[in-house]
Chains A and B, each alone.
Chain A
């Protein structure tokens, strides 16, 4: 079977899988960003309880494997009466895991905003929330954006694991095609190339665009 025939036969299934992978990626990324901001700010909180919760969350999710967390959320949570659909469990686990890594980026970026900015905001009598929202966070965002690019590639790679709880993503389709046709090189090779194209020619340019956008906005202020 030539590669062209392979694509004609199985291309549609790989395309379906790619759509699911993209959906998983977008949902997981939204969760990861939200958790990263909350946990990152939480770790900087002066309140020891909030700080403690953030630290425990970050250490647990960074200290164990994504696969362990995914299985735990999918197989163990139902035992406590919280049954999640596999699609939901998938992006939730990926998002929660990468969110813990993102929290460290958020924290690091906020700490690297020059101290004078805090002092100036304080001198202008801004409330702590105003200070964070209007002065510190926008500058931190610009600092951390390039590292988020790498983290989002990790997140895209992480979504491949949801195939192990049978979410029909790209990886899952490649596995199915391999099992029914034994065309391993074509099935897995094509999937690898699709992941690479998504990371290199969709995600990376998008992050560059976002960085340029931020730089422009900052210039205008």
Chain B
């Protein structure tokens, strides 16, 4: 089979529009994950043991089961109980929750890396727990978390094709549609791969240099 440049140019605009949707999905999903992940991480640090253990189990469960199955679960289980979710909504919930559980582990590592003396100093200064977290602990926990957060940003972007299974019109879904309309799969699928490479490689490089910049700015070695 021959590669047809004219066909590639013909379908490229549709793929580029779909790339926008892919980036949007990754962005929203990541936004949910960043916030929810912090909630999950902090919930595992409360003195109330049953909550800690429960959240721990939930995070373990989400982390060790396939995202694509979770997407199906969120999308199809709702209607069974009378809640109808749009593909976008279900997809964002599933992917956001999945990556929240990953990010909570990253945050947990960061939070644990803050020396105990910082807590003691904050207590000595009579800071409330909320203030200690927001002003003292989280700012220090952030730099060591950056590498993991960056990896999962690229990760969530690469996992968005799974949203095509419930009909979110992102890149993979569009490539499938083009393939089934024209019976040509070579160009659309290859272009999808190329677009992913063209975005994920520079992003990964950018994240690495950003991380190095933050470390230098904060005067941290290594």
Contact = CB atoms under 8 A, between A and B. Distances in A.
Contacts, number: 115
B196 A68 contact: yes
A68 B1 contact: no
Interface in B195-219: 196-197, 200-201, 204
Interface in A121-171: 153, 156-161, 163-164, 171
A69 to B, nearest CB: 7
A164 B159 contact: no
A189 interface: yes
Interface class of chain B by DSSP: helix
A188 interface: yes
Contact of A164 (B76, B79, B160, B165): B165
A191 B158 CA distance: 24
Nearest to A192: B65
B66 A157 contact: yes
A15 interface: no
B73 interface: yes
Nearest to B78: A184
B197 A63 contact: yes
B68 interface: yes
Nearest to B2: A79
Contacts of A72: 189-190, 193
A157 to B, nearest CB: 4
A199 B193 contact: no
Interface in A100-138: none
Contact of B193 (A69, A157, A158, A189): A69
Contacts of B64: 153, 156-157, 195-196, 199-200
B69 A184 contact: no
A184 B77 contact: yes
Given A63-B201, A64-B200, A68-B172, A196 B72 contact: no
B80 A160 contact: no
A13 interface: no
A171 B80 contact: no
Contacts of A87: none
B88 interface: no
Contact of A182 (B70, B80, B193): B80
A76 B65 contact: no
Contacts of A209: none
B73 to A, nearest CB: 4
A89 to B, nearest CB: 13
Contacts of B66: 156-161, 171, 195
B185 A157 contact: no
Contact of B61 (A59, A157, A196): A196
Contacts of B159: 65
Interface in A179-211: 182-185, 188-189, 191-192, 195-196, 199-200
A157 B161 contact: no
A88 interface: no
Contacts of B61: 192, 196
Interface centre among B64, B179, B204 (most CB of A within 10 A): B64
B106 interface: no
Contacts of A163: 68
A71 interface: yes
22 contacts: A59-B201, A64-B192, A64-B193, A65-B158, A65-B172, A67-B161, A67-B164, A68-B192, A68-B196, A75-B179, A153-B64, A156-B66, A157-B67, A158-B66, A163-B68, A171-B68, A184-B73, A184-B80, A185-B73, A195-B65, A195-B69, A196-B61
Q: A-B pairs with the 8 shortest C-beta distances?
A: A160-B66, A184-B76, A199-B64, A79-B1, A188-B73, A157-B66, A64-B196, A67-B161
Interface of B: 1, 60-61, 63-70, 72-73, 76-77, 79-81, 158-162, 164-165, 172, 175-176, 179, 185-186, 189-190, 192-193, 196-197, 200-201, 204
